[in-house]
Amino acid sequence: MISSHRIALVTGANKGIGLEIARQLAQAGVVVILGARDAGRAKAALDDLLSQGLKAQAVPLDLDDHASIAAAAETIRAEHGRLDILVNNAGIVDAADGPPGTASLDAVRRIMETNFIGALAVTQAMLPLLRKAPAARIVNLSSSLGSLTLNGDPASPYYAARLIGYNASKAALNMLTVQLAEALRGTSIVINSVSPGYVKTDLTGQQGFMSAEEGARLPVAYALLGEGAVSGRFVEASGQTPW
């Protein structure tokens, strides 16, 4: 079935910022596909959105299981024939991450696998469907912690967060944004890295300055960018984040 509504896939959409991105996109009239690796948590999130009268569905999607990524792409192709919005939101931290001299290599590998390789794999799998949309948007959930500039700036509030795995994974994700934006220059597809701010979710141990609903607003704005939109940027609520 080819829908006249925009179709969005949000990865890691069963809770936190991802669920709120899904909710806000659906409130804007987008048909939202919740990507989630756990069937039970996916159903709870889907029921939450459906109970609000929103248009949503769920698809099994584990960024560490590339067969599940291929299967999700095939489901979207068969049901919708295209994808208008991809939000690469799923991400992890790891307690064994830390400064470069002592971080667990296994932890760094796990983080890179999900936050970078996983997002890259999802993007590659969805690209043929994004090319079929009239003006697709890709939003990568990055972090100011991924800024090389801020990691080297003692005056930055992020300077003290020495997480080699997490910060490197977001810097790598930013490279995906830059390279894909250049590869897609001249097409109608736009891709940006968005830093949501410091948001109270499970990832931060419910610490932060913003609710998940507030943290979803900027990623949603970039998912809904209109014609002539900028591409290849790294942005936060106050403006552009230095690379």
Kindly list the residues in this chain that would bind ligand NAP in the complex (CB under 6 A).
Answer: 11-12, 14-18, 37-38, 41, 61-64, 89-92, 114, 118, 141, 143, 195-196, 198-199, 201-204, 208
Does 166 participate in catalysis according to the annotation?
A: yes
Instruction: Quote the least distance from Cβ 185 to ligand NAP, whole Å.
Output: 25
Instruction: Quote the least distance from Cβ 117 to ligand NAP, whole Å.
Output: 10
Our CB check for ligand NAP shows the closer of 118 and 165 to be 118
Given the residues 158, 166, 198, 222, the one annotated as active site: 166
Our CB check for ligand NAP shows the closer of 143 and 231 to be 143
Instruction: Give me the residues paired with residue 60 across strands.
Output: 36
Cα–Cα distance for residue pair 208/201, rounded to 1 Å = 8
- Name, in order, each residue with C-beta under 8 angstroms of 27's C-beta and a sequence gap of 6 or more: 54
Structure tokens at 13: 């959409």
DSSP structural state of residue 96: T
**Is 223 within 8 Å of 139 (Cβ atoms)?**
yes
Cα–Cα distance for residue pair 80/56, rounded to 1 Å = 13
Q: What is the CB-side half-sphere exposure of residue 84 using CA atoms within 13 A?
A: 21
Instruction: Give me the residues paired with residue 185 across strands.
Output: none
Our CB check for ligand NAP shows the closer of 106 and 187 to be 106
Our CB check for ligand NAP shows the closer of 189 and 219 to be 219
Instruction: Quote the least distance from Cβ 167 to ligand NAP, whole Å.
Output: 11
Instruction: Quote the least distance from Cβ 215 to ligand NAP, whole Å.
Output: 6
Catalytic sites, residue numbers: 166
